[in-house]
Structure 1
């Protein structure tokens, strides 16, 4: 468990943990955090972008094992059951079903109640400014952090509409530094995000027609909703579906932004699990992703130990 820095604000933070965005590949954060705990790393500051905010926030709330069990149990069919399609609105997916799932783990927990300082990074829609969510509802902060534009609707946080922070700071090393962390360990998900041909990658995420039909029936979705589900998740011939195309384009922005930000403000330890072969929407690959997260930390164990020695 992280250090109890919320109750000792007079003590300067020593260790910061930055968790980057990466859609489904973010399950690797679960394994990385578990291994860091085993190595005795106790962050005073945890800063997350997108899925990094989700995993980091749930961890600080004390429910990482429950999140792991839920992630490992996901199938494409189960994942589709969380998709509440919006025909009218500012996102294709309403997000209410995912919100209810989050609330089962977090309930009405406030960020101020967490055992370590926590920041969810978002982007203000009106100005494009980077926004740090440091207080208020943890569920709201997490949802704001993963509000991919066009996929999920923006979230109103402290009177401002915000969207996924990966557009402005995909791996929030700078946020940990700004909060005073002396040592920053960062877990990024873009080490091998590109550079392969399509034929070298797994098939893009897609649901079968029968899965979509079953899910539409379970959700009482009519003709228009079913057509939207097919457009989102069913590939047409050799082309990826709409959902894959939108998120892959978003991933290109995250990759370029991550490289730029790291060049100017590198962490003390950079952990990059090799997850690029797993499609961005394959949330049903938690077993492999968690294992890859652990493996990546193991590869940097000596580097982490050396960084920790600087604090003694």
Structure 2
């Protein structure tokens, strides 16, 4: 332990989370100068739907990080190898209202090409979609779940007296809770319990700062990250008022770059690539604008945002200005063409998914060096950290395991 930078602690996830005597002697009482980062690796059976009660392990130990693995699944072991060798693949999903449905199309394209995601994070609607990825469910299950959620008009319960927000948010809260329960089987899954390492960004109104959430209720974290000021009610977490993360960091690539083990980053941006010019000299009067809004969309004269869209966009203007810098931090950058998709057009689910999918296919198929994929990607991961002959033997063993699993 004197010479290591990281110490991986393996434990049976079904065992009691108590600290054993040898752990207390060797780790908790070691000299202060011996301070490698401790990463807990909890081992699960292959058939497990979702980890649970991880917090009981974390609260007792001074850990730098933790992972959930199913040793019988070669792709889980490949993920461990990538993270140890710092070649892990991170996926960052930006906020953008209904345009964020395109993230599902990107996820589908990644899965079809065998590109495994090791760490996932996002802001606002990106936090929702990152939550789907973190559960490690197949794309068909995720797509069916999301389609039901968005078909229910999640932002349709408006406040009669909007003292704090235009939308009550109760419908959205219930839909998020039910969606997570359906995918994981847990009533209140915590961020610590997701198969893939997850984070989301919210804005701490109480402290006027960016707030990165890596623990606690996944349901509450998602609701905080999507709580658009004025549109959705904020969340109270540990005495602080949290709201939409897009105010500070709508495309949190910088956070991903600081995540342990991540070497390559795929970023999906939803900002417009071109300025939205307004072809009018002044804003029309109320009645003129109302008459125009009653016309079919194709024949409208005034190309102005609705009040809801205006409020939602204004909250992220500062953050959007930062996104140009964030793009430079990605290895694979995607920006689906969604200029004609409104922030609240949830009813265009399938169309938006297909737009995201088509764009992701175009980007991924045009790469000369795609992100690490499947078990084959372990070779690249371990080769950087191990002697060539050891890496070759390990890669051969993993490939054999994968072939046996396929049979």
When the two structures are superposed, what TM-score results if normalisation uses the length of structure 1? 0.76
Residues 116-162 of structure 1: CA distance to partner in whole angstroms, max 9, x if unpaired?
A: 11001111102221111111111111101101111112111233211
1:124 aligned residue? 204
For residue 161 of structure 2, what is the aligned residue in structure 1?
87
8 Å Cα contact 1:169-1:261 kept in structure 2:
no
- Other-structure match for 2:111: 37
Contact 2:94 2:125 in 1 (8 A): yes
CA contact (8 A) 1:29 1:290 kept: yes
Q: Distance in 2 between matches of 1:51 and 1:295?
A: 20
Whole-angstrom distance in 2 between the partners of 1:29 and 1:182:
21
Find 2:323's aligned residue among 252, 258, 266: 258
Alpha-carbon distance in structure 1 between the residues aligned to 2:344 and 2:279: 15
Query: What is the CA distance between 1:252 and its match in structure 2?
Result: 3.6
CA distance in 1, matches of 2:353, 2:308: 24
Q: Which residue of 2 aligns with 1:223?
A: none
Show CA shifts across 1:198-256 (max 9, x none): 69xxxxxxxxx9xxxxxxxxxxxxxxxxxxxxxxxxxx995644212212323544432
Q: Quick check: 2:267–2:332 contact (8 Å CA) kept in 1?
A: yes
Aligned match of 1:22 in 88, 92, 96? 96
Q: Is the 8 A contact 1:58 1:105 kept in 2?
A: no
Please tell me the root mean square deviation across aligned C-alpha atoms, in Å: 2.9
Give the Cα–Cα distance (whole angstroms) in 2 for the partners of residues 84 and 151 of structure 1: 9
Does the alignment pair 1:187 with 2:265?
no
- 1:4-25 deviation line (CA, Å, top 9, x unaligned): 9722689436111100001110
- The aligned runs of 1:229-248 (5 Å cut-off) are 238=302, 240-248=305-313
What's the counterpart of residue 252 of structure 2?
A: 172
Residue in 2 that maps onto 1:219: none
Query: What SS does the corresponding residue of 2:241 show, helix, strand or coil?
Result: strand
**Structure 1 254/292 Cα, relative in aligned 2: closer, same or farther at 3 Å?**
farther
- Describe the SS at the equivalent of 1:182: strand
Paired residue total: 268
Cross-structure match for 1:306? 370
Aligned to 1:249: 314
Classify 1:254/1:198 alpha carbon distance in 2 versus 1 (closer, same or farther; 3 Å).
Answer: farther
Shift in alpha-carbon separation, 1:53–1:237, aligned structure 2, 3 A:
same
| Pair 1:80–1:27, CA change in 2 (3 A) | closer
Instruction: Name the SS of the counterpart of 1:194 in structure 2.
Output: coil
Cα gap change, 1:105/1:307 in structure 2, threshold over 3 Å: closer, same or farther?
Answer: closer
Taking the aligned partners of 1:59 and 1:88, their CA distance within structure 2 comes to 34
CA distance in 1, matches of 2:350, 2:369: 27
Q: Does 1:284 align with 2:347?
A: yes
Q: Which moved more, 1:236-245 or 1:22-31?
A: 236-245
Provide the C-alpha distance between the structure 1 equivalents of 2:254 and 2:223, rounded to a whole number of angstroms. Answer: 21
Equivalent position of 1:157 in the other structure: 237
Distance 1:305 1:68, change over 3 A: farther
Q: Does residue 65 of the first structure (1) align with residue 143 of the second (2)? A: yes
| Among 335, 359, 374, the residue aligned to 1:272 | 335
By how many angstroms is 1:193 displaced? 5.9
Tell whether the 8 Å contact from 1:30 to 1:293 is kept in structure 2 after alignment: yes
- CA distance in 1: counterparts of 2:368 and 2:357, whole angstroms: 13
